[in-house]
Structure 1
Amino acid sequence: MKTINKIIIALAGIAFVACSDFLDTQSPSYDSGGIYESEAGLKEGVVGIYNLLYMEGTFTNSLHRPAVVTIDNFTGLSMERAQNTTIGAGSGCTPDNSSILAYWSGLYKLVARANAVIYGASGNIENMSDEAKRYYAEARVLRAYAYYNLVVAFGDVPFFTKPATTEDYNASRTSRQTVMDFVIEELGLIAEEMPWTATERGRVDRAVAYGLQARAALFAGSLNFGGKAVDYFRTAANAANQVIGQRDLAKNFADLFTKEGQTKSDVRNEMLWELMYSDQMVNNTNKYHWVALGNGPRMFAQTGQHPGSLLADTYECIDGLRIDESPLYDPKAPNKNRDPRFGATLKMHGDTIDYYTASGTNKFIVEAFANQTQMYNAALKRWMKTNNPDVNGTAAWTSFVSNGCGYLWYKYVGGLTEDYSTVTCNIAIMRYAEVLLTYAEAKIELGELDDTVYDAINKVRLRAGMPEVSSDRKGNIDKMRQLVRRERKVELAMEGLHFADMRRWQIGDLENSKPSYGAPLSTVTYVGMEATDIPNFKTSDRHDLNDIASYDAYSDKLHVRDQSRYWDDKFYLWPIPQSERNKDPNLTQNPGYNE
């Protein structure tokens, strides 16, 4: 058990009494008395910042689901259980939305804690040890991470680098470019003060600082902040290139998302930054999450979140061609001959899922149409027929069959070695695969298609078992842009990155303006699908570029949800919470959300 995990658990009760939003001026007792001027106090304070990264329960009623695995539900690739209310694609995006307020407040809690530590330690940091200086640098990285996420969600935001005072009750918003420029510059300054690989898992290091700098610059470049797209893309490429060669990819994609896999050194090498969990009890508690409980099938879990067909149909066939272009795609068996990441990320009808029990690992066959299915009973050591709660259970209304699109999340659900309601595998915040794809995308946007771009994408594809960049794509900006966007979706799904990608690619309307279509109806089943029942990706050049499918030609055969879903371009920015504006009359509202 690493020291930082012990401290995170021990400080859980302390850290969450931090200021409720950026205007609160009352600090926890351990913020006072110059405690951060001591090395022990500085370390304790920084670990308190780490604890605020989880933001559990921000977007759901669950107290054990971190925001980073939930925020992609507010894109077209995934969805929450309730229909037509997804924030940013329906009636849920309002200034009074409690989840929007919770996200705002959670990020400003992180900013406030970081500012307290940074400001409190700054007077004595030069006299502290190198280890203390690394903790000080980590606090600055964590603050930059919070501001990056605030800009992505809200645009212009109040900006502070010192603890807030009573004067800040009248704070106005700082431009998104100014805040993002601070983030980018700060991370560049900090990076060289940190080791390439943190001595303890869960702590940020030089690779994370450069990776986050690249992430922020890519966002600013994509939206052409201040007309400086080229400069931002150059910064993103250079920052990502700093990391390339310092770390490497794990050998097995699926290992990245299981407790057993995360014990391997090659997985540690790829996982640049993780939310830490532990099965070790400290003060009669431990840190666990409910990702598997929320995402798993009704056979053992709750199906609270659903992956969508727009994601499932983005995965290429094993020949490296999109499903509308590959002769290997079969509408009667759409999970066959697909990119192996499909099966490592999603499950569907006909697949087998394992799940841990005290008597051993049970297995069952995912059944989308029948009242019963086959299950391997670990206690009895045999296969047997069993009730299929995804179809006829008391809560089947919320299952992947009745309320979803016909797909289940498998990332963080597969390979369980502990109870699905107390899972302690770590959650990725940043992986080396993202850095490679960020480098490739920045270079593509700069028009610099060279072997380093192809090599970066090939590393990710070859690890997954997919073909290298094809010859017809090389030298073609549009085809390479399409490919890198496709790779980001299928490689990084449910890791909190598509929320920003959707915004910077400006494809919210493509993903969210129509209902969500899914698996065949029970009266059709996959047997009733025809060879011509293939998604149409070529409704427009934008649809084609971004792999956004239309199902209009055979939609009468498919399950459909979110029939009242709609998109408004104002959703590219969430509204400033009204309760915050009530406290501060100088907080303006984002366009489209005024009275």
Structure 2
Amino acid sequence: MKRIKFYLVFFTAILFSSSCEKYLDKSPEADINERQVFGNFISFQGFVEEMYNCIMDPNKGGAWNAYLFADETLNNSPYNFDNGNYWGAEGLFYGQSVNTTDNNPRTKRIWEYAWYAIAKANQALEKIEEEGLFQGTEEEKNIIKGQALFFRGWFYFQIAQYWGGMPYVTRVLSPTESLISEEFKRLNFQETAKLMAKDFREAANLLPANWDDVPTGQPTLGQNRTRVNKFFALGYLGKALLFAGSPMINQEATGSNTFDPELCQQAAEAFGELLTLADQTGDYKLQSWSTWTDNFWRWNNERPGGTEVIMAPTIYDRSRVRWSTVGATVPSSMGLNSGSSADVPTHNFVKNYAMANGLPITDPASGYNPNDPWTGREPRFYKDIVVDGDKIFSCSCEDATAKLYNGGYHRSQINPPSITGYYAKRYSPMDASFSISKAGGLQAYVPYLRLADIYLMYAEAVLYAKNGGTPQSTSGNYSLTAAGAVNVVRKRAQLPDLAAKYTANAQDFFEEIVRERAVELAFEGARFLDLRRWNRNWDTRYLDKTAIDFDRGQNGKPINIQERLIIRRVATRKHNWLPLQVKFINLYEGFPQNPGW
């Protein structure tokens, strides 16, 4: 890894000093430089490493940046998105110059870095095929090409999931050529996703399942877990196709607010192929329940992810966890706050967590007691959510126990307080042993793709595939039914299989998929994407962000419980896509603004 990082820095400097002229017009010095960069696997991989260094770390783009734009969280100041203002950069989307050699996640943004990486991918794909330039084995060539194809598709997905379809550039561009042509015309998302899928499919065919198992990966044996492999490509192949086949995106392309059966079938088969490979190789498997949190955090500066996370952000600076993720999600009084308002779960979102018997709290048979709302909930609730009375800090002080009742220490006596009556601990594991010193060694990252997500997307794709239609359907290339895939995730969370009444028809089953995705993928950035692609972002069920107000009774239980509306999100059909910045749409004719903006 150190050797490759050296080449990354060295060859970045070489790359941007080289000529844009055609190969035969280059000077001998430029030819030597190109051979140094692209002539063998080690140096070429150093060039590819720049694309890894374009991967955004979702919640570390600033001291703290919002990355959850649906109904999951609130802080003491309304999000711009909650007010319908999608113009803000939010520390995630754009506003930084590209520098792929720094180790600061605060400089990374989606828009600039994605386009840069796409250009790099196209250059890599051109150079790997240039006659007489690359000298290496067929396996080495395939791995270089497979990574470049994956990254071209993946960075297009990062752009398109927020801004919609784009021109799909597949070659190195001249700085003097005109962009006013059919080649550079904006596509819709579905058209763009089909081209992504082509890249992901070819990448999956070229890449190994595990770099440790092939000769090319031996020099970095045991350090290849974050390398793009066949699982990455198959996962995003299925994800791009499922998104393309989802109602909002299908409506944009065809006018039909329904799932596209053909695209869902293709997605289901991609997920089925991945799950089959996982079963055969054991390279990826669900974490056990006792180690579920390894997906999100580890102590002592250990990388989280375990056996389940397929793709995670690039780690640029381990200390940023302490000063971003932790500082903005724990009580400000702990001495860990970095000056940001505390991001906390909303009460409306917490309602998605089921009871221990596996039934949603809206089910009359669940046993849910609105006057005792935190007793008897499912296990993920207690892993994710801090409620009044929980032990959260190792001190003999007010912070030791959460005081979230009306007038309580964490509700009104600190600045900023919890605005909703909760804290979240998916990435800030607060308990009786939590301390400032432990927080300094905490490593916590938002996964991009993990196996539980694959199971849930498989279930959704199968349900709406042309060969599916029921919770008992399969993909055709994998034996698990749609309901069975959801139950795999539930079983890991110590829950029983879905009750029969929720697998009796497609609509009731889909509502359980919606709820399961909310809980299993809570605070991972999936919710905003899901609600939009399902055409539900403006649905009244998901607009209100609420708090829970209560007094603490003599027995420590909440009394006088009231749900209070804090803000109703502004969301209409124009919020399907983020607006493009004016300077972007003025680049050339044929690159229009998104509808409504």
TM-score, normalising length: structure 1: 0.76
Deviates more, 1:194-203 or 1:465-474: 194-203
The equivalent of 2:227 in structure 1 is 203
Equivalences for 1:61-460 in 2 at 5 Å? 61-62=62-63, 70-71=66-67, 73-79=68-74, 81-83=76-78, 85-87=79-81, 89-94=82-87, 100-102=93-95, 103-123=110-130, 127-129=135-137, 130-166=139-175, 167=177, 170=180, 171-199=184-212, 200-223=224-247, 224=250, 225-226=253-254, 229-245=260-276, 246=278, 247-252=284-289, 253-260=292-299, 268-277=306-315, 290-298=324-332, 299=334, 300-301=336-337, 302-325=340-363, 326-354=365-393, 364-369=400-405, 388=409, 391-393=412-414, 395-396=415-416, 399-400=417-418, 404-414=419-429, 420=439, 423-446=442-465, 447-450=469-472, 452-460=481-489
- Alpha-carbon distance in 1 for matches of 2:406, 2:32: 59
Q: Percent identity?
A: 20
CA RMSD of aligned residues (A): 3.8
Distance 1:176 1:432 in 2: 25
Q: Which secondary structure state, in structure 1, belongs to the residue aligned with residue 392 of structure 2? A: strand
* Structure-2 change in CA distance of 1:582 and 1:425 (3 Å): same
State whether residues 57 and 313 of structure 2, in contact with CA within 8 Å, keep that contact through their aligned partners in structure 1: no
Please state how far the C-alpha of 1:335 moved relative to its aligned partner.
2.2
Distance 1:269 1:96, change over 3 A: closer
Shift in alpha-carbon separation, 1:367–1:80, aligned structure 2, 3 A: closer
- 1:483-506 Cα distance to aligned partner (Å, 9 max, x none): 111111110112222222111111
Alpha-carbon displacement from aligned partner over 1:371-403 (angstroms, at most 9, x marks no partner):
77xxxxxxxxxxxxxxx465323x22xx32xxx
Post-superposition shift, 1:41? Answer: 2.5
Instruction: Provide the C-alpha distance between the structure 1 equivalents of 2:509 and 2:592, rounded to a whole number of angstroms.
Output: 40
| Matched residue type, 1:229 | D
SS in 1 for 2:580: coil
Deviation at 1:220, TM superposition (A): 0.9
Tell me the distance in 1 between the aligned counterparts of 2:361 and 2:590: 51
For 1:561, give the aligned amino acid: I
CA contact (8 A) 2:268 2:458 kept: yes
Residues 312, 449 of structure 2: 8 Å contact kept: yes
Question: How many residue pairs end up in the alignment?
Answer: 516
Show the 5 A alignment for 1:530-569: 557-562=562-567, 565-569=569-573
Residues 286 and 454 (structure 1), Cα distance of their counterparts in 2 relative to 1, 3 Å cut: closer
Distance in structure 2 (CA, Å) of the matches to 1:514 and 1:189: 40
Q: Using the TM superposition, give the Cα deviation of residue 54 of structure 1 relative to its aligned residue in structure 2, in angstroms.
A: 2.1
Q: For the Cα contact (< 8 Å) 1:474–1:480, is it kept in 2?
A: yes
Matched position secondary structure for 1:179:
helix
CA distance in 1, matches of 2:10, 2:359: 51
In the superposition, relative to structure 1, how do residues 9 and 425 fare at CA in structure 2: closer, same or farther (>3 Å)? farther
**Deviation string, structure 1 residues 175-221 (Cα, Å, up to 9, x no partner):** 32221101112211221222223431211211111111111111111
Deviations 1:144-198 (A, max 9, x none): 1111122221112232122333325544323322211011122112212222234
Query: How many angstroms does 1:242 deviate by?
Result: 0.9
Counterpart residue identity of residue 452, structure 2:
A
Higher strand share: 1
Matched, 1:499 2:499: no
Structure 1 residues 433-487: Cα deviation after superposition (integer angstroms, max 9, x where no partner): 1111111111112304326222211110010011112122233111211111111
TM-score normalised by length of structure 2: 0.76
Q: 1:347 to 1:16 in 2, by over 3 A?
A: farther
Residues 220/91 of structure 1: CA separation in 2 closer, same or farther (3 Å cut): closer
- Residue identity opposite 1:110 in structure 2: A
Whether the aligned pair in 1 keeps the contact of 2:145 and 2:206 (CA below 8 Å) is: no
Residue by residue, what CA displacement relative to the aligned partner does 1:272-316 show, whole Å, maximum 9, x if unpaired?
112243888xxxx99987212222222333554232223210111
CA, structure 1 residues 242+561, in 2 after alignment: closer, same or farther (shift >3 Å)?
same
- Worse overlay, 116-125 or 430-439: 116-125
TM-aligned CA deviation for residue 77 of structure 1: 2.0
Alignment partners' CA distance in 1, 2:55 and 2:444: 16
| 1:275 alignment partner, SS class | coil
Cα 1:287–1:466 shift into 2, 3 Å: closer
- Counterpart of 2:559 in structure 1: which amino acid? G
| 5+ residue gaps, structure 1 | 20-28, 373-387, 531-556
What is residue 570 of structure 1 aligned with on the other side?
574
Query: In the alignment, does 2:506 pair up with 1:477?
Result: yes
Aligned-partner residue type, residue 408 of structure 1: Y
Deviation at 1:128, TM superposition (A): 2.5
3-state DSSP of counterpart to 1:353: coil
* Larger displacement relative to structure 2 (419-428 or 131-140): 419-428
- Structure 2: give runs of 5+ residues left out of the alignment: 17-29, 96-109, 213-223, 279-283, 473-479
2-side partners of 1:32 and 1:17: how far apart?
A: 7
Matched residue type, 2:388: H
In the other structure, the counterpart of 2:22 is none
The AA in structure 1 aligned to 2:85 is G
Relative to structure 1, the CA distance from residue 561 to residue 569 in structure 2 (aligned partners, 3 Å threshold; closer, same or farther) is same
Structure 1 contact 296–303 (Cα < 8 Å) conserved = no
Give the secondary-structure state (helix, strand or coil) at the position aligned to 1:272: strand
Q: CA deviation at 1:91?
A: 4.2
- SS of residue in 2 equivalent to 1:332: coil
Cα distance in 2 for partners of 1:391, 1:120 equals 60
Aligned to 2:518: 489
Task: Tell me which amino acid in the other structure corresponds to 2:586.
Answer: N
Residue 368 of structure 1 aligns to which amino acid in structure 2? Answer: L
